[in-house]
């Protein structure tokens, strides 16, 4: 990128149109020009995004989403490159993209990865999750894996998350230090338990929802990422799946079967070779 381009004002999210190609250009030259200019534009969009998060005021969600749409290819190349160890990746991603500390943007990134052009993706995802939840609930009660639905929706959602790994068991047992396989997804903090101490001692690096007395904290590895209301625990399975995709993370062996089922049935995404991991 030229010096003039890097010094452009970043106070607006207004996106410039691509400059027209010469009429005498060959298809190969046109394609190269489009690719190069696209990369230049994406670099400029990223700089604009960075500037927006340097201010104290929270950036406009739609403006951020627009920039994330435009900078998608370069961002995914950076995240999916495996240039850094998986344990270091979330920290580096959040340093580069602090917007992913907001659940709306993490969920929107899932949309871009799976069905970028579908503006109805999130509502459709929620509908599929609701259908799966109801079927799993019926199956769990029928198989006596879980108790009948509780009136308290928060308690029932927690019970469902605890029981899901038993409904879709993986052949590999969880690490002994972890205890039950559901601890790979969910942990109920005791009143005397320190959240950071728990995360530091946790044997897995996978995304996890820590349920506190008043709210929930979604963490990756030892790093708390975002806090959300306890009443939203029902949707937390979708948040966890979005983190696996947005941060390009590996499924833990002890819940790989469950997450693969969620991938196909709720996310409507096929199982890929990269999902068949031995980690």
H helix count then E strand count, the chain = 11, 4
pLDDT confidence tier of residue 41, bands split at 50, 70 and 90: confident
Contact 70/42 with Cβ under 8 angstroms?
Answer: yes
What pLDDT score was predicted for residue 12?
32
- pLDDT category of residue 274 using cuts at 50, 70 and 90: low
Structure tokens at 112: 């871009």
pLDDT band for 111, please (50, 70, 90 cuts). very high
Among 33-37, 48-52, 202-206, 241-245, the least confident range: 33-37
pLDDT in tens, 112-147: 999 998 999 999 999 999 999 999 998 888 877 788
pLDDT at 106 over 80: yes
What 161-166 contacts at long range (C-beta under 8 Å, 24+ apart), as own/partner pairs, is: 161/185, 161/186, 161/209, 161/233, 161/236, 161/237, 162/186, 164/136, 164/237, 164/258, 165/254, 165/255, 165/258
d(CA 113, CA 269): 10
Mean of all residue pLDDT scores within the chain = 84
The DSSP H or E segment spanning 41 is helix 27-52
DSSP 63-89: HHHHHHHHTHHHHHHHHTT--S-TTTH
SS3 call for 13: coil
- pLDDT band with cut points at 50, 70 and 90 for residue 30: very low
Q: Which of 78, 116, 89 is nearest to 220 (CA)?
A: 89
pLDDT band at 36 (very low <50, low <70, confident <90, very high): very low
pLDDT in tens, 210-255: 999 889 999 999 999 999 999 999 999 999 999 999 999 999 999 9
For residue 109, what pLDDT is reported? 98
Q: How confident is the model at residue 76 (pLDDT cuts 50, 70, 90)?
A: very high
Inform me whether the pLDDT recorded for 23 exceeds 50: no
Give the residue-averaged pLDDT of 4-18. 34
What are the boundaries of each domain within the chain? Answer: 121-269
Output the pLDDT for position 129. 98
Per-residue model confidence as pLDDT tens digits over 178-216? 999 999 999 999 988 898 999 999 999 999 999 998 899
Cα distance between residue 130 and residue 235, in whole Å: 9
Question: For the residues 41-52, what does the mean pLDDT come to?
Answer: 87
Neighbour tally for 82: CB within 10 Å: 9
Residue 35: pLDDT band by 50, 70, 90 thresholds? very low
Give the confidence band of 273 by pLDDT, cuts at 50, 70, 90.
Answer: low
Q: Mean pLDDT throughout 151-164?
A: 92
In this predicted structure, what is the pLDDT of residue 84?
82
Determine the Cα–Cα distance for residues 265 and 35; give it in Å rounded to an integer: 35
Helices within 71-182 (DSSP H only): 72-79, 89-96, 103-115, 121-142, 153-167
Crossing angle of helices 72-79 and 27-52, in 10° steps, is 80
């Amino acid at each position: 990128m030229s010096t003039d381009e890097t010094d452009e004002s970043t106070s607006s999210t207004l996106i410039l149109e691509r400059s027209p190609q010469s009429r005498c250009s060959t298809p190969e030259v046109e394609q190269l020009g489009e690719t190069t200019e696209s990369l230049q534009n994406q670099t400029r969009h990223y700089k604009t995004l960075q500037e927006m998060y340097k201010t104290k005021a929270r950036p406009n969600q739609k403006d951020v989403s627009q920039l994330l749409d435009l900078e998608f290819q370069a961002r995914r190349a950076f995240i999916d490159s495996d240039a850094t160890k998986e344990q270091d990746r979330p920290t580096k991603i959040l340093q580069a993209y602090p917007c992913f500390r907001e659940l709306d943007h993490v969920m929107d990134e899932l949309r871009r990865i799976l069905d970028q052009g579908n503006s109805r993706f999130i509502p459709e995802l929620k509908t599929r999750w609701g259908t799966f939840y109801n079927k799993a609930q019926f199956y769990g009660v029928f198989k006596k894996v879980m108790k009948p639905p509780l009136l308290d929706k928060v308690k029932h959602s927690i019970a469902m998350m605890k029981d899901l790994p038993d409904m879709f068991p993986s052949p590999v047992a969880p690490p002994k230090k972890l205890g039950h396989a559901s601890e790979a997804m969910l942990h109920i903090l005791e009143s005397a338990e320190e959240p950071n101490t728990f995360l530091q001692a946790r044997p897995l690096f996978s995304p996890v929802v820590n349920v506190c007395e008043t709210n929930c904290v979604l963490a990756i590895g030892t790093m708390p990422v975002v806090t959300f209301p306890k009443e939203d625990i029902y949707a937390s399975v979708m948040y966890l799946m979005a983190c696996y995709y947005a941060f390009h993370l590996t499924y833990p062996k002890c819940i790989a079967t469950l997450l693969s089922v969620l991938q196909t049935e709720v996310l409507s995404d096929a199982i890929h070779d990269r999902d068949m991991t031995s980690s």
